Structure 1
């Protein structure tokens, strides 16, 4: 069974240097990536391949993790994103049997981000893009980002929504006062990242992004970033006068795919299938932040109480089907985007 993992991260040295040289990027995530995980994130050979083999993963879809380029000034974001995408293309060319990739987009300049997504798909052969959440204080439903969503829909290219730190004021209000280490962990992988990303996805739904771009497809990790399991309560917002075109749950079933991000829980697997069906599930391990015991990723799928067809769908089939529809050459829609 071929296993393709979608939330697997790569940080070239030049990007790490750009992070540490930019005051706006000085946050816990930069320190984490530039110190504790630097070797694993930069490596594309022995360390990474051995870890993939140990976990039972055949292909990693590489991407730049948080903070990405979300908080750079626009000109710097464009430069770093293009540089990363070119490096990523080279990495895939060297090992097409083991790697694929999500582009990084200069979201601080949404028009440039739309053009970079086109370049990434048409010229570099990448499989969509990964976005590290909001851009400073602009949430992901902000109309400024419509050019990105328009381009992704026209290209039929998925967008992976990845966590980043909650805003500083939120961290101060909710994630401090417990202990030095606990405060940081609480604001990141323990829960803060996941509330942050879940709220961004929910805002995209409530803000009408999927009504404006009904064919747009996004992917989220960590079993739906909390909000998926709370849809019964979130459904109250169907009566909030938002004038959405569909019931809220329909957006989660028709515009979103879900991965485990290395949280290999049979209970979460079962609950996700119950809510959105196997057809909306894909796979990820969240390398290098989530390590796996020997053959752990493969064992999780192989031991799941699912049919062989369902296991294959999660392991690679749903991903293969989704990316087979990506528009690789200019058509009427993408030509419109190029001209605009």
Structure 2
């Protein structure tokens, strides 16, 4: 079955109509972005190399990744006034040829800008794609997208495949060759959105974030802010334990970091509610990171706008907290009016 795309109305919910969503996926007119390019098996040993999703779900996702009007209709029904869209995963990170990744990142950014931001400037913003196979080119495209297209930052779909003959050969953002990208990100005062979903991807993204924390990047570029989806991929729940165990080790063995992992989480990261429908999970994230660092999101079309809105709008919570998470934090971070 496909996801629910209608408000259930089992319990009457007063719709809040100012919500801002930040982790919303779209496709590319130039390549199939939800797999490697050219295609390779996603899971070794699985039939056709694909996870066992049902066909109606996949057909619905494929349609909505490239259907602006359906997206707007769903936003209207859910009280989402503004969404920052970005290329679905693995996106540019899954393009195996470096030069092609640079070209398709630029062309896709222009296409998403035309289809969404230029056509609907009051409804959509953009996180651009960048080709981290060539970090200097990624820095150039980030600057162009921010200054010319008005991009709010960059979307990085986890690690980057760097060997077209071996998809297990990957690069993480703490690699020293990525320094030009971090430097440009700091200069532009932009946010990267480090994104993945589901359990395995979430663990990878959490580990990726810890690598960035330990690398010293956030000490060199103190103004860099990173957005993590899915209530920061379990880090609010785990970070105290991580700090506790690292404290008994030999300082410097895990990298040249200067602060605790909790410090970086509370000062250099934001967490979205994308894919979350659990109040206790949200509360833990607020308790550990502060409500000023938690942001409403959905992960559309992989999640239902309507379900997310019913949950968030109908939940019992302090109204100032609801407004902060629902839209005020996003307005402040991205200077939205």
Q: TM class, shorter-chain normalised? A: 0.7 to 0.9
2:21 partner SS: strand
Q: Which residue of 2 aligns with 1:53?
A: 76
Q: Which residue of 1 aligns with 2:301?
A: 288
Structure 1 residues 143, 15: CA separation in 2 closer, same or farther (over 3 Å shift)?
same
For residue 230 of structure 1, the aligned residue among 208, 219, 238 is 238
Q: Give the Cα–Cα distance (whole angstroms) in 2 for the partners of residues 11 and 4 of structure 1.
A: 20
User: Do structure 1's residue 5 and structure 2's residue 14 form an aligned pair?
Assistant: no
Q: Give the Cα–Cα distance (whole angstroms) in 1 for the partners of residues 324 and 204 of structure 2.
A: 28
Q: Give the Cα–Cα distance (whole angstroms) in 1 for the partners of residues 33 and 201 of structure 2.
A: 24
User: Do structure 1's residue 300 and structure 2's residue 300 form an aligned pair?
Assistant: no
1:70 partner SS: helix
Q: Give the Cα–Cα distance (whole angstroms) in 2 for the partners of residues 310 and 96 of structure 1.
A: 27
In the TM superposition, residue 29 of structure 1 has moved relative to its aligned partner by 7.4
Q: Which residue of 2 aligns with 1:171?
A: none
Q: Which residue of 2 aligns with 1:22?
A: 38
User: Do structure 1's residue 257 and structure 2's residue 265 form an aligned pair?
Assistant: no
Q: Which residue of 2 aligns with 1:205?
A: 213
- CA RMSD in angstroms comes to 2.4
How many pairs align? 297
Q: Which residue of 2 aligns with 1:310?
A: 321
In the TM superposition, residue 15 of structure 1 has moved relative to its aligned partner by 2.6
Q: Which residue of 2 aligns with 1:271?
A: 284
**8 Å Cα contact 1:100/1:126 also seen in 2:** yes
5 Å-filtered alignment, 1:168-179, equals: none
In the TM superposition, residue 306 of structure 1 has moved relative to its aligned partner by 3.3
For residue 109 of structure 1, the aligned residue among 93, 118, 134 is 134
1:69 partner SS: helix
Q: Which residue of 1 aligns with 2:188?
A: 155
User: Do structure 1's residue 43 and structure 2's residue 43 form an aligned pair?
Assistant: no
Q: Give the Cα–Cα distance (whole angstroms) in 1 for the partners of residues 304 and 269 of structure 2.
A: 25
Structure 1 residues 38, 31: CA separation in 2 closer, same or farther (over 3 Å shift)?
farther
Q: TM-score, normalised by structure 1?
A: 0.81
Structure 1 residues 303, 238: CA separation in 2 closer, same or farther (over 3 Å shift)?
farther
Unaligned runs of 5+ in 1: 164-187, 326-340
Structure 1 residues 310, 14: CA separation in 2 closer, same or farther (over 3 Å shift)?
same
In the TM superposition, residue 53 of structure 1 has moved relative to its aligned partner by 2.2
Q: Give the Cα–Cα distance (whole angstroms) in 1 for the partners of residues 64 and 292 of structure 2.
A: 32
**8 Å Cα contact 2:86/2:127 also seen in 1:** yes
**8 Å Cα contact 1:199/1:227 also seen in 2:** no
Structure number having the greater strand percentage: 2
Structure number having the greater helix percentage: 1
Query: 93-102 vs 214-223, which deviates more?
Result: 93-102
Query: 281-290 vs 225-234, which deviates more?
Result: 225-234
**8 Å Cα contact 1:202/1:227 also seen in 2:** no
Q: Give the Cα–Cα distance (whole angstroms) in 2 for the partners of residues 11 and 265 of structure 1.
A: 28
